[in-house]
Amino acid sequence: MPELPEVEVVRAGLQPAVTGALVTGVEIFDERSLRRHVPAAGSFAEQLTGRRILAAVRRGKFLWLPLDSDRALVVHLGMSGQVLLRTPGAAEDRMLRIRLTLEHPTHGELWVNFVDQRIFGSMAVDAMGPTRDSLPGGYSGQPQADAAWQNRIPSQVAHIARDPIDPSFASNAFFAALARKNTGIKRALLDQNLISGIGNIYADEALFAARIHYEQPAASLSAAKARTLLAAVRTILQRALAEGGTSFDAQYVNVNGQSGYFAHSLEAYGRQGTPCSRCGTLIVREQFMNRGSHFCPRCQRLR
DNA sequence: CAGTTAACCTGTCAGC
DNA sequence: TGCTGACAGGTTAACT
């Protein structure tokens, strides 16, 4: 489940189920799902078994579960990852790669199934370090300023920029970086080191809402236009989150396997050949970065 | 530094 | 029915 809203749906679903739970079992069905695990301080299973989970945190499309060992279980869903909560003994999920068994003090025993068709996603145990700005590492539902994990971040997530719905997102620094970028605006929106959480769907939707062509040079946007774009990004992400994310099929689901509804609200992504909701011109799809860019050629002109 | 390409993978769908 | 090719929401490393 790729972009920010879909990952946040997963985080929010995990939080009440895993916070305070003890990891009692780890089963690995496909080692390739541990691609990002660095076995320096011990194997994946060794570092998890017997540890307690303290929270569920997200920055952009990265999710992590801080452990009582100053490490964290880092989860990235890649293109097709799912995290499913199951009652032990439930029927096997297809394409199950990793399973954790948890013992929660009040909810009892639980399976956390990591399912991933394409195996671009991964789980890893990683060391935590301080955040560069000494602010919270990401979004975790309830702020817990006194918690040791709060202002720390897994080493493999440290290079990822804050996302636009993070209260600590530095808008002015983002605008300044845009003004310095010698590249197209969509490439900049997809650059997770500049702003995180935006993928191909929401980049196209935000650019449509702000009426900006995807190849418009980032540095050429006026201050007002850049502000409009950031506001559009936030609005789209929040609306998508409120509707449970975007699902075209059973691939992108919450921890209970349910789809979101935002696909009905898409204005540009996947709508090539259908009329623009503003002017009736047919939406166009062009090849871009080995995928598609969808836009209205009339509303979104290159200037 | 910016941009391109390839690599990592499996499944689904359209067309023949 | 079966084959082939195109396509899919992401990230990273290597190269120009």
Residues in chain A predicted with pLDDT less than 50, given as ranges, are none
Nearest to A63 by CA among A174, A168, A197, A164: A197
Q: Which domains can be identified in chain A, with CATH numbers?
A: 4-157 (3.20.190.10), 171-295 (1.10.8.50)
Edge to edge, the sheet with strand A122-130 lists A57-59, A62-66, A71-76, A122-130, A152-154
R_g (Cα) of chain A, nearest Å = 20
Q: Hey, what are A249's tokens?
A: 């099929």
Quote the distance between the C-alpha of residue A44 and its chain's center: 22
Question: Rounded to an integer, what distance in angstroms lies between the CA atom of residue A124 and that of residue A37?
Answer: 4
Question: Strand B footprint at Cβ < 7 Å?
Answer: A 32, 95, 117-120, 180-184, 187, 249, 289-290
**How would you classify residue A18: left for phi > 0, otherwise alpha for psi between -120 and 50, otherwise beta?**
alpha
- Determine the pLDDT at residue A224: 96
Angle at A218 between CA A213 and CA A223, to 5 degrees: 100
Supply the residues of A annotated as catalytic: 2-3, 61, 291
- Determine the pLDDT at residue A1: 56
Q: Which bases of chain C come closer than 7 Å to a protein CB?
A: 7-12
Question: Rounded to an integer, what distance in angstroms lies between the CA atom of residue A16 and that of residue A55?
Answer: 9
Residues A210-268 pLDDT 10s: 999 999 999 999 999 999 999 999 999 999 999 999 988 777 889 898 999 999 999 99
- Determine the pLDDT at residue A39: 80
Residue nearest C6, CA–C1′ metric: A291
CA distances from A257 to A49, A55, A65, A237, A248 (A): 26, 21, 20, 21, 14
Question: Rounded to an integer, what distance in angstroms lies between the CA atom of residue A117 and that of residue A95?
Answer: 6
